[in-house]
Amino acid sequence: MTSNEARSPADREMGWMDMMELVGKVALVTGGSRGIGAAIAQRLAQEGASVALTYASAADKAQAVAKQIEADGGRTLVIKADNADPYAAVSAVEQTVREFGRIDILVNNAGIFAGGPLDELTLEQLDRTWAIDVRAVFLASQAAARHMREGGRIINVGTSLTERVPGVGLTLYAMCKSALTGLTKGLARDLGPRGITVTVVQAGPIDTDMNPADSTFADFIRTRLALAEYGTGEDVGGLVAFLAGEEGKYITGTTLTIDGGFNA
């Protein structure tokens, strides 16, 4: 069944809305204009959530995601936010709350990759990667936690490279994404008494613009996978939706890896 069929008036009359996990919830997905972020935003909307999504430069792609969600009967808000700016992540949270009146789910997905020979990495690359991949996650989580009620969810999108680095040139990215594990564990302790969960989804080889399944490097990656194929953004979106829903209420302070057996 397609999402359009799922949102039809007949389905609503038959109680379809009661089967949707996130009806009445509000989610913010950073970096939701493409790839994994777009798939997450669309899946949360299919589960009934109102979804705000941010983008840094791909305005057309962000609007395309929003139009698809709205065509399927969902509610969206598109926010321009470059997480290199320390105020952007906080502003996105506040805009979401102003528009929808609350925030229940924060998915910290926005990130960048900086790699290359160790001797060639610059201080500018270090500062920018840390700002976007770590600092913005902390600031967005801090801001969202001020508004979240019991049952809130903070879900950070990391990488399976934090557990296994298969080659050279990945030091900076692996370091920054590894910081999300410590951040998640600390936040889980801080927010657990309020009934708010915090997790990391560690994505492996997922077919996106950043890591396409038809790249020259992809054949090498496939030799390291137990399942021999790249995953999809929809695969990650399904896991995030699970964590955001009722069945994810007792999972916190931990990492969940979705990598086709890359780290097996």
For the segment 131-154, what is each residue's pLDDT rounded down to a tens digit? Answer: 999 999 999 999 999 999 999 999
Angle at 30 between CA 217 and CA 126, to 5 degrees: 60
pLDDT digits (tens, 9 = 90+) for 64-116: 999 999 999 999 999 999 999 999 999 999 999 999 999 999 999 999 999 99
Strand order in the sheet with 197-203: 76-80, 50-55, 26-29, 105-108, 153-159, 197-203, 254-258
Catalytic residue among 55, 87, 173, 250: 173
pLDDT digits (tens, 9 = 90+) for 19-33: 688 999 999 999 999
Residues across the chain: 264
Q: What are the angstrom distances between the C-alpha of 252 and each of 22, 79, 151, 191, 255? A: 18, 28, 12, 10, 8
Whether 173 is catalytic: yes
Spell out the domain ranges in the chain. 20-258
For residues 56 and 204, give the distance between their C-alpha atoms in angstroms, rounded to a whole number: 23
150 touches 196 (CB < 8 A): yes
Q: Are 77 and 53 in contact (CB under 8 A)?
A: yes
- The dotted CATH code for 20-258 is 3.40.50.720
Q: What pLDDT score does 8 carry?
A: 55
What is the pTM assigned to this prediction?
A: 0.91
Quote the CA–CA distance of 37 and 110 in Å, as a whole number.
7
